[in-house]
A and B are shown apart, each in its own frame.
Chain A
Amino acid sequence: MSEIIDPLTQAKEWQDQGKKVALATVVETWGSSPRPPGSQLVVNEDAGFEGSVSGGCIEGAVVTEAMDVMETGVPKLMEFGVSDAMAWEVGLACGGTVKVFVEKLEA
């Protein structure tokens, strides 16, 4: 019986394999959201991911954004919620709001 793979450990392993990696971290939540601040999702250049920032509803959008961030190296603060009107809006089924910080894991 082993522990669930730690996202940061996974990020390091992917980088060791020569892959580009981005880290996504929940930094703020309002209302009912499934994962608390500090929860992390790590993404590699093949769109492989480990961890979570929600119950599964916004991971797809975060992975897409993370692919962009690992190319540009410019960190990004994403916000998801019921009243969100941005182009990449993805509603949270639970009705909460969540802010996710996405950054590249630099060499």
Chain B
Amino acid sequence: MKRAFLERLEAARQAKQPTVVATRLSDGAQALIVDGDVVAGDLAVTPAIADAAQTALRRDKSGTEDGVFLQIFNPPLRLIIVGAVHIAQVLAPMATLSGYGVTVIDPRGAWASAERFPDIAVIQDWPEEAMQSLAPDRRTAVVALTHDPKLDDPALAVALATDAFYVGALGSKKTAAARAVRLKDSGVSDGAIARIDGPIGMNIGAVSPAEIAVAILAKITLTLRGPKGG
């Protein structure tokens, strides 16, 4: 790989563009494919390779096609946390380490302070509006942790209308059942309500905020990857 090629690759990743590095394994000839266009390198990209590159991006899986290795760089995963609560303080750095770009939403200034969330993007705004402007996509997970219906519910309603691959909400079975009734009354469909993971996370008997964060991150991972076979 040439230095100029690497710099072009880094620029594409920083711009969050879907990117593929195609490498012919017999001699190391390479092509850089950004947003479907070949922008650098000395490898002639055949239509078959170009197709395989787009398929690999869609499946989020690097692999070899016809002796050419296709290394994919999809835009980063995102996690949107509603509620700058104690669990969020541990979940945010854990998710960052797991490769997520994390945003915390909470209109309450005392909670959503930079001191409580160093190096994490915090939005002090109403969750409904903030969620709309963040526009969750199929590489976004959303969790509602405030325990306060007037903050959680509108955010959940917005998130459920998007392609977010995971939507979870904190609360016991009883809380979840009451929330389902409220959301239905506000016009959210049964199918959408059924998408909510609640009680949130994998049942690992979590007690402390950090343990609950592990349970949530485990469930998000399971939803993203699916269980391993065999």
Report which A residues bind B (CB closer than 8 A). Answer: 1-4, 8-9, 11-12, 15, 23, 25, 27-28, 36-38, 75, 77, 101, 103-107
Contact = CB atoms under 8 A, between A and B. Distances in A.
B16 to A, nearest CB: 14
Given A1-B92, A8-B9, 15 more contacts: A2-B96, A8-B10, A11-B6, A12-B7, A15-B3, A25-B69, A27-B25, A28-B64, A28-B69, A37-B69, A37-B71, A38-B71, A77-B25, A101-B25, A106-B3
Contacts of B36: none
Interface of B: 1-3, 6-7, 9-10, 23, 25, 27-28, 61-64, 69, 71-72, 92-93, 96-97, 99, 118-120
Nearest to A76: B28
B199 to A, nearest CB: 27
A9 B97 contact: no
Contact of B1 (A2, A23, A27, A37): A23
Q: SS class of chain B's interface: helix, strand, loop or mixed? A: mixed
A75 B27 contact: yes
Nearest to A73: B28
